[in-house]
Chains A and B, each alone.
Chain A
Amino acid sequence: ETGVTQTPRHLVMGMTNKKSLKCEQHLGHNAMYWYKQSAKKPLELMFVYSLEERVENNSVPSRFSPECPNSSHLFLHLHTLQPEDSALYLCASSQDYPGTGAGRTQYFGPGTRLTVL
């Protein structure tokens, strides 16, 4: 549980605000992910970083901007969000991407509950 941490745990913001979500992994992994979790929908992969390079971008609106300054930290910068962006944002890491065997296992953080007013 403490291998991947996320801050803040809860965030309320207006549509014109700019905020950032932070994720840190203490597992020595090389890949990090951002997911969006909405009620009654499957987890949606947003971005994947491998060795600090973005390798996947799943048609995410530009109001979400990821940043990976090193292999242990991942940020999600938010600006001009919409109410439908309210969700639980989960960060995950894995040893490698795509990886083989146990290296593919993704470990999730507790998430940031985002509410956009």
Chain B
Amino acid sequence: GENVEQHPSTLSVQEGDSAVIKCTYSDSASNYFPWYKQELGKGPQLIIDIRSNVGEKKDQRIAVTLNKTAKHFSLHITETQPEDSAVYFCAASQGAGSYQLTFGKGTKLSVIP
């Protein structure tokens, strides 16, 4: 089955700096890669996703890049703000066979004002 590794487990940045979270996956058949943000006391919320026919996707201060050859994808947050502080999860899903989302262990991001 799929295995997703996520790094780092914790990340502290100064407000205004950029944050990068990286994930690797094991199954070359995976073709859907969402990122979720989970704030304290809440469920995960989708912030951006990318499909395997796209190498990069951007939404305001958030961007995701995908390298299918190397089987890794990354989340980039620019101009970080205190409200970006949360736990971020990456996930991977296949397009055939098992459609389940396999999640990484999460990255706790702290943005220091």
Contacts and interface: CB of A to CB of B under 8 A. Distances in A.
Contact of A41 (B41, B43, B105): B105
Interface string A69-106: 00000000000000000000010100001110000111
Contact of B44 (A56, A58, A90, A98): A90
Given A42-B4, A105-B34, A105-B49, A110 B42 contact: yes
Contacts of B102: 42
B46 interface: yes
Interface residues on A, range: 20 to 34
Interface string B36-73: 10000111111001000000000000000000000000
A58 B99 CA distance: 13
B43 A98 contact: no
B93 interface: yes
10 contacts: A43-B101, A45-B101, A58-B100, A97-B99, A99-B99, A105-B46, A108-B43, A108-B44, A111-B42, A111-B43
Interface of B: 4, 32, 34, 36, 41-46, 49, 89, 93, 95, 99-106
